[in-house]
Structures are given as structure tokens and as C-alpha cells.
Amino acid sequence: MKRFEKIYEGKAKALYTTGNPDMLIQYFKDDATAFDGKKKGIIPEKGILNNKISSRIFKYLEGRGVATHFVDMPTEREMVVKKLKIVPIEVVVRNIAAGSLSKRMGVDEGAPLKETIIEFYYKSDPLGDPMINEYHIRAFGLAQTSDLRKMEATALKVNTHLSGFFSERGITLVDFKLEFGIHKGEILLGDEITPDGCRLWDKETGEKMDKDRFRRDLGKVEEGYQEVLRRVLG
């Protein structure tokens, strides 16, 4: 499937039209950003690694009844996806305290949570993706209540499956971000699931294997992504 007009370009990906009006090509870039775009850089071959990781995970989830936008991976950097009307809400699932949650709650990173936490963020780069709650979502008409409930249930289902998937591969799924969209009236999981949007720690050593290596100048960023891919495919 050929890509035609570029209709969107974000920090990590670009979207192109195809000969099928219901399908797009999602192109993965090597660009890396952090802190709402204040820190920028390049992670060599990140786009290739993320495309392969996300394609494997989407296939895994599809096999377990999670509807996604994934169709095919025709090239190392391209993913054919169903065209979505994006819901402007990021759903964050947290299993262990880390990142902004540790700072907000004043707890040490790595502290276990008594139960999984789900948070909602308004997708807006100019506003820095602020945290919102269900009252904001209803008041501003960001999503139908039924769609929000479906997104929440899907996020928990994804968490159950991926926690086990990664654990079997020696990785702890600390937290992760999901995005959703509507395709022909159905809520589908979209975007990507990669070390860009997941915190992944080695189960034995606690070593970070995700974009925190870039955010925090820990070094060996590409190696962390490569190791995730090796385990995901293994």
C-alpha cells in the first residue's frame, strides 16, 4: 500500500493517506522529545524499533479480544492503520509510582500501589496535556460517557494482558499511555504502544528500558529500546 498526502505530523510519527479512504499509513520517526517538547533529540532507528514493538503488541492484543487500529506492517517504519476520529483524551494506567505521580504524591519512585490508577489527560500540545477528570470530559464534551467507559474498561484489559506479557519476558510494566479513536462507530485502541509511552523496568535489576533514559540523560537509550524489542519478539 502506497502513502500519498501527509495529513498530520507529530513529535514521533506522521500520518499519510492511502488509496483506501478508511486506511492510513503511520510513519515512525527517530525524533525524541520530552518535557512538552522542551528537550529534543534523535534516537537512532527509534522509529524502526517502535514500529516493530508496537506491531507485535497490537497483534498480541488483537488475539485477546482488544480491538485496535492495527492492520499491517508493510515496511520497517510504516504501519497501515484504520482511519480514526481521535478522542482528545490520553488514558494513563499506573501500576507502580513513578514520574509525575511520585512528584505529585510525594512518594518514592518504585513504591507499589494498592490498586491500579487510571488518569485522564487532555490532548493539547499548546496546553501541555493537562490532567483532567470526568467532570471536565463531560463539561467540555470531550467524549461520550459510554465511550469513556469503554476506554477505561479497555485500558484495564490491556493492563492485565500486557503486565503478564512483559512479566514473562523479564520486564515490569510500571505505567503506560493509551490513545483511542472512533472507526465506523467503534472505539478502537490507536496510536502506539512502545517504550516512548510505557515505563518498562527490568524485573531483576530495575534498570529503565524506556524513554526515561532519554529524559534523564541516563545514556544507552537505543540499547534500551533494542533490548525491549528483543524480548518482545522472543
What are the tens digits of pLDDT across the range 91-146? 999 999 999 999 999 999 999 999 999 999 999 989 999 999 999 999 999 999 99
SS3 of 26, please? strand
**Set of cell numbers at residue 151:** 476506554
Domains and CATH numbers, the chain: 6-82 (3.30.200.20), 85-221 (3.30.470.20)
Read off the pLDDT of residues 156-181 as tens digits, 9 standing for 90 and up.
999 999 999 999 999 999 999 999 99
**Mean model confidence pLDDT for the chain:** 97
Sorting pLDDT into bands at 50, 70 and 90, what band is 213? Answer: very high
Grid cell 515505563 in the structure block, residue: 199
User: Considering the chain, what percentage of its residues have pLDDT values greater than 70?
Assistant: 100
Inter-axis angle of helices 221-233 and 46-62, nearest 10? 30
pLDDT of residue 23: 98
- pTM recorded for the entire structure: 0.96
Question: Regarding predicted confidence, which is higher, 35 or 156?
Answer: 156
Q: Measure Cα distances from 144 to 62, 147, 152, 183, 209 in Å.
A: 24, 5, 12, 15, 36
Question: Which residues have C-beta within 8 Å of that of residue 51, sequence separation ≥ 6?
Answer: 28, 73, 76, 77, 78, 79
pLDDT of residue 45: 96
Inter-axis angle of helices 145-167 and 46-62, nearest 10? 110
pLDDT of residue 38: 79
Give the Cα separation of 2 and 175 in Å (integer).
35
pLDDT of residue 131: 98
DSSP letter assigned to residue 29: P
pLDDT of residue 37: 73
pLDDT of residue 36: 75
Question: Which residues have C-beta within 8 Å of that of residue 55, sequence separation ≥ 6?
Answer: 70, 73, 79
Read off the pLDDT of residues 56-100 as tens digits, 9 standing for 90 and up.
999 999 999 999 999 999 999 999 999 999 999 999 999 999 999
Give the Cα separation of 228 and 222 in Å (integer).
10
CA dihedral 99, 100, 101, 104 (to 10 degrees): 140
DSSP letter assigned to residue 185: T
pLDDT of residue 218: 96
Q: Residue type at 54?
A: S
pLDDT of residue 35: 82
pLDDT of residue 140: 98
Question: Regarding predicted confidence, which is higher, 88 or 34?
Answer: 88
Give the Cα separation of 222 and 205 in Å (integer).
18
Which residues are 93's β-sheet partners?
118, 176
pLDDT of residue 1: 86
Grid cell 541516563 in the structure block, residue: 218
Helix spans in the chain (H): 46-62, 99-105, 134-139, 145-167, 212-215, 221-233
pLDDT of residue 194: 98
SS3 of 155, please? helix
Question: Which residues have C-beta within 8 Å of that of residue 156, sequence separation ≥ 6?
Answer: 93, 116, 118
